[in-house]
Structure 1
């Protein structure tokens, strides 16, 4: 009989797949997101760490070779308020965080709270 994999184990396994630089940046983003909205649940989807509110995908941490993106599923609705967001798709926007540079936790906090408001609003 197969056992259930706990979400915390999946999240830990996600970080184990990253290079040391990616892991450091991704964990800093994870801490900033959870400090801004501790009620968010975490899951690994599409090979990325996804944060959800009420079972709706809100944002994701997406690791790349030279940077880690904090991707907002409703980012297009936030783009006018946050010019730091990049991207041109219909809904998604991302905040690019380069390795070996500190994460702007105040900006992440503001973005996460705005994304939460947009979902609830």
Structure 2
């Protein structure tokens, strides 16, 4: 697994075809939850609440996984979250196509959720 020193270092190594989508999702997180800090962990972009990892972007060659480390605990009325791990869930994002209102609701839910650890 490749490691990066910062969000910016991670971003620079992602396919240029995904840069616009990454920027849009990053802006959405920053507007929805300005109290979160961004970083890079485990080869992904992450947003932290203090030291707790809440949100991530995992880049695939043709799409992004916009994920939540405690996604299984989040209210997801639009049923956007995918995955079957104990906690982690993600929203697949292709070609800059995502529902910003629904993702913002998931972001707010993640910030307000009680830590699972």
- Band the TM-score falls in, shorter-chain normalisation: 0.7 to 0.9
Give SS of 1:114's match. Answer: helix
In 2, distance between residues paired with 1:114 and 1:81?
A: 12
In 2, distance between residues paired with 1:104 and 1:84?
A: 9
Give SS of 1:28's match. Answer: helix
- Dislocated runs of 4+, deviation >6 Å: none
In 2, distance between residues paired with 1:82 and 1:46?
A: 28
User: Taking structure 1 as the reference length, what is the TM-score of the superposition?
Assistant: 0.83
Alignment of 1:1-121 (within 5 A): 10-78=6-74, 80-99=76-95, 101-119=96-114
1:73-116 deviations in Å (ceiling 9; x for gaps): 000011554411000110000011002x3332211210100111
Structure 2 segments unaligned to the other structure (5+ residues): none
> Which one has a larger percent helix, Structure 1 or Structure 2?
1
Structure 1 segments unaligned to the other structure (5+ residues): 1-8
In 1, distance between residues paired with 2:75 and 2:85?
A: 11
CA contact (8 A) 2:66 2:93 kept: yes
How many matched pairs?
A: 111
CA contact (8 A) 2:75 2:109 kept: no
User: Taking structure 2 as the reference length, what is the TM-score of the superposition?
Assistant: 0.86
In 1, distance between residues paired with 2:97 and 2:38?
A: 23
